[in-house]
Structure 1
């Protein structure tokens, strides 16, 4: 096959996926407003992908199928034929030649992201200036699988979703990739194990002043001039909670106060505190308080 016959796929372009697959994805984050990462959920009958490379790094997470598919993968003219298991993960870096074919109906998640996204999330987790992303044939990776499933569930629950939650999952993914899928092992940061008190107070004050907004991890990290992944790690060391968990907890505490004041309905409280809808507030309220907002009001 000559170079001109090889597909170049740009997952940032909505219709480019149809260059590669016979049908559009069942689920896509195209309109979700997610920052830096794209999810697609596919179901396809037996198919052979043309040789291609993409402009983005790509992770394929093998999901449940009626029967485990027998898949032949090609990455840079190396081949592997394997019966995929639920949760197996294939890693294909940007600009790496690849193809695949499978013999039965097949369901899978794809996560794609720009090389610049990886650099933005991890720039202060390593002092290596240039690291090489290593392609990997299908193998089990429980953490990547769980992140992919969590992102898919978030997209199904709310097409818009929580930016901070999605950003936190993305940061965890980028850190994991840096540790396990890069040619050079990153040099760990030393000496700082938590946010300095002054910087932590800056962040907490900012969160409380913007509880009504869909906060982004990069937005919080920029306040203390850190990469999102590094900030997320230090924040959890400092508070015991991931940033999105801390924000939800603060919103629920504010919700309790607003409900007791009796000036707003439950739906209005949900809207005021940045929840996507009333049931979103109720779900987190019951998880943290133990009762629904209605039951909480009755008990008071």
Structure 2
């Protein structure tokens, strides 16, 4: 289901205040405790495996509080990326950019909402300029400072007594300043994990892989994109993405093949070819290893799921 949040507009009527509180409605109530504040709000979320599509007029950021393997996500694109989210992984979703997420394991996170007008005000105070353009990090990027703020928010939201709104708003404000300084190009970028790629290099490599994963890619090519020697690149890549380059490329190819199989427009052999696999048997071997089913089974189950979803959506309400 797609959700859309409302933001606080000028004025102080009861209707405006009610709309302001709706900025956290994109997160289901059963996910966990939350609090709406002057600058935005925060939710401590614990959710079972599932999926969600969100398009909101508010900036959102999620910080993982525990490892969550087996994720697929996209931001402003139809192409889903597969990744494992370690503790401290940060995801940023700018306002009015559609985000889709599918997670196969339970996940624990803190989600911070920041009103666009609040971020604009903070940018004016911090850099004497406005209209900051958020630059989300690659999926799976660890941000220790964001994790620290998320842990403080969790502690406040899960107290036995109601959370202190001023304190939560202060943490949301600090989170907003952190985002401005490190994910807008206005300040110094957050360094990547020790021994890993810088966030800037990781972003360049991720963008290159997204555009070329179905082609034959050498370590030397990826190393050149990152600005490292081939000798150091594999270790740095593995530290940043949690898996070696070969495994990461395989994930991208497999995810793309799955989407093509579910669509059902191409023969399986052609799906294997355009996804970057050497043959249909290669695709079958990889899919059996990582998904536990053949391409034909994937196609049948995916299309059956689509049919079931369509039938459910067509049922009358009431």
Give the structure-1-normalised TM-score.
Answer: 0.51
Matches within 5 A, 1:63-212: 63-64=65-66, 68-77=68-77, 78-136=79-137, 137-157=139-159, 158-161=161-164, 163=166, 165-185=167-187
> Partners in 2 of 1:111 and 1:82 — Cα distance?
21
In the alignment, which of 38, 42, 50 is matched to residue 39 of structure 1? 42
Listed one character per residue, the Cα deviations across residues 6-51 of structure 1 (whole Å, up to 9, x for unaligned) are 5423486667766664x62221114xxx32121112222211213x
Gaps of 5+ in 2: 8-18, 189-318
Gaps of 5+ in 1: 187-300
Check conservation: 1:63, 1:107, Cα contact below 8 A.
yes
Listed one character per residue, the Cα deviations across residues 74-107 of structure 1 (whole Å, up to 9, x for unaligned) are 1111432111111111011100111000112222
Check conservation: 1:132, 1:184, Cα contact below 8 A.
no
Indicate how the Cα distance of structure 1 residues 18 and 38 shifts in structure 2: closer, same or farther if over 3 A, else same: closer
Check conservation: 2:41, 2:172, Cα contact below 8 A.
no
Match of 1:24 in 2: 30
Check conservation: 2:63, 2:150, Cα contact below 8 A.
yes
Indicate how the Cα distance of structure 1 residues 19 and 144 shifts in structure 2: closer, same or farther if over 3 A, else same: closer
Check conservation: 2:64, 2:108, Cα contact below 8 A.
yes
Indicate how the Cα distance of structure 1 residues 124 and 42 shifts in structure 2: closer, same or farther if over 3 A, else same: closer
Higher helix share: 2
Listed one character per residue, the Cα deviations across residues 37-79 of structure 1 (whole Å, up to 9, x for unaligned) are 21112222211213x31111000111226xx331111111143
Residue 60 of structure 2 aligns to a residue whose secondary structure is strand
Residue 123 of structure 1 aligns to a residue whose secondary structure is helix
Indicate how the Cα distance of structure 1 residues 149 and 53 shifts in structure 2: closer, same or farther if over 3 A, else same: same
Indicate how the Cα distance of structure 1 residues 15 and 55 shifts in structure 2: closer, same or farther if over 3 A, else same: closer
Indicate how the Cα distance of structure 1 residues 40 and 167 shifts in structure 2: closer, same or farther if over 3 A, else same: closer
Indicate how the Cα distance of structure 1 residues 141 and 125 shifts in structure 2: closer, same or farther if over 3 A, else same: same
Check conservation: 2:60, 2:114, Cα contact below 8 A.
yes
> Partners in 2 of 1:17 and 1:112 — Cα distance?
7
Match of 2:57 in 1: 55
Tell me the CA shift for residue 162 of structure 1.
6.2
Check conservation: 2:62, 2:111, Cα contact below 8 A.
yes
Q: How many residues align?
A: 174
> Partners in 2 of 1:103 and 1:85 — Cα distance?
14
> Partners in 2 of 1:168 and 1:18 — Cα distance?
21
Indicate how the Cα distance of structure 1 residues 113 and 15 shifts in structure 2: closer, same or farther if over 3 A, else same: closer
Give the structure-2-normalised TM-score.
Answer: 0.48
